[in-house]
Structure 1
Amino acid sequence: MIDLSRIVKAYDVRGTVPDQLNEPVAEALGRAFVQTLRNRGEFAEKIVTAHDMRASGPALATAFANGARAEGADVLEAGLGSTDLLYYASGVLDLPGAMFTASHNPAQYNGIKLCKQGAKPVGQDSGLAEIRERAQQILDGGSRVREGELKGGLEQYSLLERYATHLLKLVDLSDIRPLTVVVDAGNGMGGYTVPAVLGSGLPLTIIPLYFELDGTFPNHEANPLEPANLVDLQAKVRETGADIGLAFDGDADRCFVVDERGEAVSPSVITAMVAVRELEKDPGATIIHNLITSKVVPEIVREHGGQPVRTRVGHSFIKGEMARTGAVFGGEHSAHYYFRDFWGADTGMLAALHTLALLGSQAAPLSALAKDFERYAASGEINSTVADTAGKMAEIEQAFPVEIDRLDGITLTFPDGSWANVRPSNTEPLLRLNVEAPTAERMAALRDEMLAVIRR
């Protein structure tokens, strides 16, 4: 018997196919999704679905649709799409949605990202726990939906052109200087959306890498957060003399940036750069950043008259704060970027457009622009396997008697302005460490001190 507690995570569904996630599971989740929305008094007469390039996506999406239709909901199938295309559909059509993707996970995985109408998030505290319980009961009962039980209708509807048009209305690239842009889609959905958004009528020369949709990821994992997966992009930027490189993850909701030297630009730097652009349009606005972004983000926001708000790590927390505060923009160090103009949802493509607009609006190279936003040295996220995460965090507090806050795990702030965050994984026996300091030497020393305690 499948145990859904193993695949229904804090923010989405993620598991291996077919042993953990298969058509009966998807069907049960489709039924449970509609049941939960209705039980909570939220609209569920129609839902929209999309799937990425993984081979299992179409069958899982169809099974989920059958479950929803058995509960009387109509289903609009958008077909192939990126996660932010699904959010666009949910926002513009004001429908709940389900995106079938395992994002950057290896080929044997698939998953489901759910949202309410208007692209509002569904997490453990906003319906996902109830969906899991209802779906588990349906699975344990053993019954499957039969053809005659499909009460709701089914419609196919392509949204790619409308999605591209919407994004290009939000960021005008028509007057920028010509740019050469290398894009590594990693055989993921960027290979589908980038040509539609950036492919014609703009002063851009696009050099594509791995645009062929292939859920087996034959060239490298579609996870640009790992430096090894940026190597091909960096080499191509240097080889071609391009102005910028962009790398998208598997479902193309995250975008990573490489400068003209082939050097990676920190997502915190991109957050600060985009924040400045948004504050120019909306002076005094609120900008959201999670607690592992660089200190440069709130500093830059304040210097430009904005109001920074710090949140826990995770898209449901960012989206919740976006809604609560009316923030114009939010950024995470994992390269998720959230926009009020995009229903508070995350879209890597819109962040890429802002970066291209900023670069193309003046003559300096990207490395020079980024330098103004680089004030500190960061370790990046370092994972350590720890059996007793709570006990280890208590040990860290004793070893480092400094200022501590507990917004998400523990964040230690040192007298010289250095900080370290240690937080447990939601799904694995891991502690995640992030360190930032005024210099690379201080960062390395503090990182090693922290790891010595975590791993002893």
Structure 2
Amino acid sequence: MSNPRDAHRHQHLVKAYDIRGVVPDEFDEAAARTIGAAFVALTGADRIAVARDMRGSSPALAEAFAEGVVSRGAQVLDAGLGSTDYLYYVSGTLDVPGAMFTASHNPARYNGIKLCKAGAVPIGDGTGLERIRAALASAPAPADGPRGSVLRVDLLARYAAHLRSLVDLGGIRPLKVVVDAGNGMAGLTVPEVLDHPWLDVVPLYFELDGTFPNHEADPMKPANVADLKARVRLEGADLGLAFDGDADRCFVVDERGESITPSQVTALIATRELARDPGASVVHNLITSQAVPELVAEAGGVPVRSRVGHSFVKALMAEHGAVFGGEHSGHYYFRDFWFADTGMLAALHVLAALGGQDRPLSELMARYTRYAASGEINIEVADPEAALSAVEAAYSGPGTEIDRLDGLTVRLGDGSWFNVRASNTEPVLRLNAEGPDPAAVRQLGDVLLALVRGVGLGAAA
């Protein structure tokens, strides 16, 4: 920016995978305008799609971004309110770059932008975000050509129809499903997508409200699915679905009000997709359960292991032509959806699998569970790399396998494994462990926590 103070405020706005910060301290309309102009230069496009979530700051930021685009002679396709996967649909079906204004599951004071190239191709560090970061740190060149325009487009009905065309719900039995939208964008998209005569949808927190008055829009945290679990039991529902703020992630609860892990969902969808495309590749990140690559191989597929993060998963999917990809965080990627992630399409697969047979969800999903897992444990550290080195030294003995594809992954002789990796945004290590039974996982977790604390580097967060 021309003002050095603006450059300083915006220097941490561009992350590894997207743009995100506190409004207006880190992210304001001036930054959005600059990013819009820079995005035209980056893509060379004459049309750019823009959508936004329900946050109070989203309309003004999206409008400022659009002004930046128009100032460089390009046309803005204003797709209005929608989920992130709706924006991917618009980008994919119209073959234009896209910008989604959202901070996903972050608190209300945050906002951000998820950018993609035409065809919903992801943009991250090394594929364009570094140019956006540079633009924010310098004075923008004056606009000297004809201005572009803004065209309003509404493709929400077409988005919903496209998703329903990919999963056949025609023969399902009647299902009651509780859906917790968390006051996020699923409150808009679920009524469109799950409009089916055999689905009895019980809405929970469907009112669009970017202040998140009921709970954080982050279903990875157990406290944020407590209401959903209670409502499933109260209603006697067949299952529950929870979406994050921008509705690109989906989490599942069975008829008992117990959580189904994203690894189980990944394995379920992978086997369904492999049934119609035998021998295809399936991408999974290295935090997903070992059951995932085992079940993929048993179904005749080729498991491909990835680093954590959508840009890595999508790149590997494109490289291998993978039919599907899943992450432990509830992101699910589909070849038939431009290799992009859509929690709504994952939800349709779960509904089709459950409704296509007579067993309850807990019994259906039992075959996709083989090991006990710790879940993600955050450990506060002063020096993440030193902590990783200490853990690696402690486990660099016979009977272990170590790799550093993403952080540190250690496989032990009894079949247990763990991964420790540094957060991109916080001074914490993220620990995930898996073993043959809960006792083995607890013991492994206790040893690792004691090791980190013993060298004076941190404590469990």
Contact kept? 1:420, 1:434, Cα under 8 Å: yes
* Matched residue count: 445
Following the alignment from structure 1 to structure 2, what is the Cα–Cα distance between the partners of residues 326 and 423? 28
Matches of residues 141-180 of structure 1 in structure 2 within 5 Å?
151-180=147-176
- 1:138: how far off? 3.2
Letter in 2 for 1:280: A
Q: Say which of 16, 27, 31 aligns to 2:22.
A: 16
Q: What are the ranges of 5 or more consecutive residues in structure 2 without an aligned counterpart?
A: 455-461
Matches of residues 90-239 of structure 1 in structure 2 within 5 Å?
90-138=91-139, 151-199=147-195, 201-239=196-234
- 1:6: how far off? 1.1
Deviations 1:217-270 (A, max 9, x none): 000000000000000000000000000000000000000000000000000000
- Name 1:41's counterpart in structure 2: none
Q: Say which of 38, 47, 64 aligns to 1:32.
A: 38
Matches of residues 332-351 of structure 1 in structure 2 within 5 Å?
332-351=327-346
Deviations 1:25-50 (A, max 9, x none): 00001111111223xxxxx1110000
Following the alignment from structure 2 to structure 1, what is the Cα–Cα distance between the partners of residues 22 and 128? 23
Contact kept? 1:32, 1:132, Cα under 8 Å: no
Following the alignment from structure 1 to structure 2, what is the Cα–Cα distance between the partners of residues 57 and 455? 42
Letter in 2 for 1:81: G
- 1:149: how far off? 7.0
- Name 2:259's counterpart in structure 1: 264
Q: Give the 3-state SS of the residue equivalent to 1:395 in structure 2.
A: helix
Matches of residues 242-391 of structure 1 in structure 2 within 5 Å?
242-391=237-386
Q: Give the 3-state SS of the residue equivalent to 2:139 in structure 1.
A: helix
- 1:136: how far off? 2.1
Following the alignment from structure 1 to structure 2, what is the Cα–Cα distance between the partners of residues 372 and 162? 35
Letter in 1 for 2:189: T
Q: Check 1:438–1:71 CA distance in 2 against 1; reply closer, same or farther (3 A cut).
A: same
TM-score, normalised by the number of residues in structure 2: 0.95
Following the alignment from structure 1 to structure 2, what is the Cα–Cα distance between the partners of residues 371 and 447? 24
Q: Give the 3-state SS of the residue equivalent to 2:154 in structure 1.
A: coil
Q: Say which of 3, 7, 13 aligns to 1:7.
A: 13
Q: Give the 3-state SS of the residue equivalent to 2:257 in structure 1.
A: coil
Contact kept? 2:14, 2:132, Cα under 8 Å: no
Following the alignment from structure 1 to structure 2, what is the Cα–Cα distance between the partners of residues 317 and 431? 20
TM-align CA RMSD:
1.2
Query: Is 1:454 aligned to 2:455, yes or no?
Result: no
Contact kept? 1:410, 1:421, Cα under 8 Å: yes
Q: What are the ranges of 5 or more consecutive residues in structure 1 without an aligned counterpart?
A: 39-43
Q: Give the 3-state SS of the residue equivalent to 2:170 in structure 1.
A: coil
Percent identity, please.
61
Q: Say which of 420, 423, 429 aligns to 1:422.
A: 420
Q: Give the 3-state SS of the residue equivalent to 2:11 in structure 1.
A: helix
Contact kept? 1:311, 1:321, Cα under 8 Å: yes
Letter in 1 for 2:215: H
- 1:135: how far off? 2.7
Q: Which deviates the most, 82-91 or 375-384? A: 375-384
Deviations 1:385-444 (A, max 9, x none): 212111111111111123100100110000011001011111222111100001000000
Following the alignment from structure 2 to structure 1, what is the Cα–Cα distance between the partners of residues 364 and 345? 19
Q: Which deviates the most, 235-244 or 424-433? A: 424-433
Contact kept? 1:328, 1:339, Cα under 8 Å: yes
TM-score, normalised by the number of residues in structure 1: 0.96
Following the alignment from structure 1 to structure 2, what is the Cα–Cα distance between the partners of residues 384 and 159? 43
Letter in 2 for 1:316: S
Contact kept? 1:31, 1:135, Cα under 8 Å: no
Following the alignment from structure 2 to structure 1, what is the Cα–Cα distance between the partners of residues 276 and 194? 23
